[in-house]
């Protein structure tokens, strides 16, 4: 066998599940198809890649026998690669590790543009090996991993569903207009929170993940957290707009009155993520969005643009988060498989952000996995 130049393909979890199913199938034709697929990838020097998100999606399956068969299948893979964790620990990394590496390239490596960030990160991103090296034979370990995956899978349905809601219809109101709204008297807030929670519950049931069954509880918890945040902001005193920005860690110069409440919320999320990522750097660095604006890290830009479009869909899906976590690998892999929904959303992102286009590898859809190796023939 002659290995071609190493290539890295990011298959979606559904495809990996289908190959595993066929690999162990009773029908000879299905088994032969799966084995021929893996042999062809090996001949072409194509590594099947894994991320933390793949592990969650593959092992959160409700059928224990399917999970066991998937684990046995993964051990047979001849060429695998996984996102190398930023801290060099053993296990597939994910979007957090990718963002840490990009932030490191900016803070400690001096990268100043998207292409410089990608060029700096790419050589050290992938760890390679064989399936049995990663998916070790340890039932107790994988039982623990499955429990974590089940919990994370449920969490994804919650996060994606809540992100799809806009009770009170505040997200598109400009910050300047919001700050001129009268402050609701404290004695009226309980009634408002009850109404807010009711509206949020309706939106969760209408537009959230169909498998999410905790709409009432989530709506009440969200309303209570919002109430607590408002009280904390008021207790700090001072001018309302400045109090809000300080509470969410957003520098005043990064905000204008023309930004919407939704956009300010995204800045708050970025500020918190940047704080966490900068502490994880080696050596740690105390950076803020003044130092690293939200448009600095290409993977963050792509991830957030995709999530913004996902939130406009009629129905949210917990898998949206996994899709947006894996989409940035298009900067670093030879090819990334996407479903029709994500393909449409990513094409919208790339039309709106043409500067990203020269940096990406191949995005592809493929309903028959046996056709995938043909995409990598040189």
- What are 331-367's pLDDT values in tens digits? 999 999 999 999 999 999 999 999 999 999 999 999 9
The pLDDT of residue 326: 96
The yes-or-no verdict on residue 302 having pLDDT over 60 is: yes
pLDDT attached to residue 176: 86
The answer to whether residues 42 and 84 touch, using CB atoms and an 8 Å cutoff, is no
Pairing of strands 126-129, 80-83: antiparallel
CB 266 within 8 A of CB 250: no
**CB distance 179 to 240 below 8 Å:** yes
Question: Binning pLDDT at 50, 70 and 90, where does residue 257 land?
Answer: confident
What predicted TM-score, i.e. pTM, was given to this entire model? 0.93
The residue to which tokens 């169909």 are assigned:
210
Least confident of 76-80, 102-106, 232-236, 372-376: 232-236
159's CB contacts (< 8 A; 6+ apart) are: 318, 321
Average pLDDT, stretch 289-310? 96
Domain coordinates of the chain in residue numbers? 7-160+302-311+319-376, 164-280
Q: Give the pLDDT mean for 207-219.
A: 95
Question: pLDDT averaged over the chain?
Answer: 94
Amino acid 3: pLDDT: 47
pLDDT for 314-337, tens place per residue?
Answer: 999 999 999 999 999 999 999 999
CB proximity list for 319: less than 8 A, separation 6 or greater: 57, 156, 160
pLDDT at 378: 67
Per-residue pLDDT of 263-296, as tens digits, reads 999 999 999 999 999 999 999 999 999 999 999 9
Q: In what order do the strands lie in the sheet with 46-50?
A: 126-129, 80-83, 46-50, 7-10, 335-337, 362-364
Q: Is the pLDDT of residue 132 over 70?
A: yes
Dihedral of alpha carbons 247, 252, 257, 261, sign = negative
Query: Picking from 100-109, 131-140, 239-248, 286-295, which range would have the lowest pLDDT averaged per residue?
Result: 239-248
What Cα–Cα distance (Å) separates residue 150 from each residue in 75, 76, 93, 248, 372?
21, 24, 18, 31, 29
Q: Is the pLDDT of residue 376 over 70?
A: yes
Residue 74's Cβ-count burial label (10 Å; 0-12, 13-18, 19+) is buried
Q: What is the pLDDT of residues 177-206, one digit of tens each?
A: 887 888 788 888 889 999 999 999 999 999
Q: Cα separation of 8 and 137, whole Å? A: 25
pLDDT of residue 280: 97
d(CA 272, CA 158): 20
């Amino acid at each position: 066998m002659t290995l071609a130049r190493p290539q890295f393909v990011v298959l979606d979890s559904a495809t990996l599940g289908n190959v595993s199913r066929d690999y162990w199938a009773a029908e000879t034709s299905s088994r032969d198809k799966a084995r021929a697929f893996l042999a062809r990838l090996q001949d072409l020097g194509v590594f099947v890649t894994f991320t933390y998100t793949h592990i969650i999606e593959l092992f959160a399956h409700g059928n224990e026998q399917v999970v066991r068969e998937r684990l046995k299948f993964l051990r047979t893979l001849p060429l695998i690669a996984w996102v190398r964790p930023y801290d060099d620990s053993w296990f597939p990394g994910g979007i957090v590790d990718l963002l840490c590496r990009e932030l490191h390239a900016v803070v400690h490596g001096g990268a100043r543009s998207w292409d410089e960030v990608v060029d700096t990160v790419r050589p050290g991103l992938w760890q390679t090996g064989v399936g049995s090296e990663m998916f070790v034979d340890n039932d107790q370990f994988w039982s623990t991993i499955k429990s974590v995956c089940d919990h994370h899978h449920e969490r994804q349905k919650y996060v994606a569903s809540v992100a799809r809601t806009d009770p009170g219809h505040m997200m598109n109101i400009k910050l300047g207009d919001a700050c001129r709204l009268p402050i609701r008297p404290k004695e009226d807030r309980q009634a408002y929170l009850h109404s807010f929670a009711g509206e949020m519950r309706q939106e969760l049931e209408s537009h959230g993940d169909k498998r999410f069954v905790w709409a009432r509880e989530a709506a009440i918890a969200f309303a209570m957290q919002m109430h607590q945040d408002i009280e904390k902001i008021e207790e700090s005193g001072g001018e309302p707009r400045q109090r809000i920005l300080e509470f969410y860690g957003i520098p005043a110069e990064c905000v204008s009155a023309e930004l919407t409440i939704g956009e300010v919320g995204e800045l708050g999320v970025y500020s918190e993520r940047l704080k966490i990522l900068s502490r994880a750097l080696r050596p740690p660095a105390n950076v803020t969005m003044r130092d690293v604006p939200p448009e600095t890290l290409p993977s963050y830009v792509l991830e957030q643009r995709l999530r913004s479009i996902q939130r406009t869909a009629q129905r949210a899906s917990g898998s949206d988060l996994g899709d947006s976590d894996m989409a940035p690998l298009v900067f670093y892999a030879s090819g990334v498989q996407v479903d029709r929904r994500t393909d449409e959303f990513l094409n919208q992102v790339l039309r709106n952000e043409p500067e990203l286009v020269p940096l990406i590898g191949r995005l592809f859809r493929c309903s028959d996995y046996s056709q995938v190796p043909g995409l990598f023939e040189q």
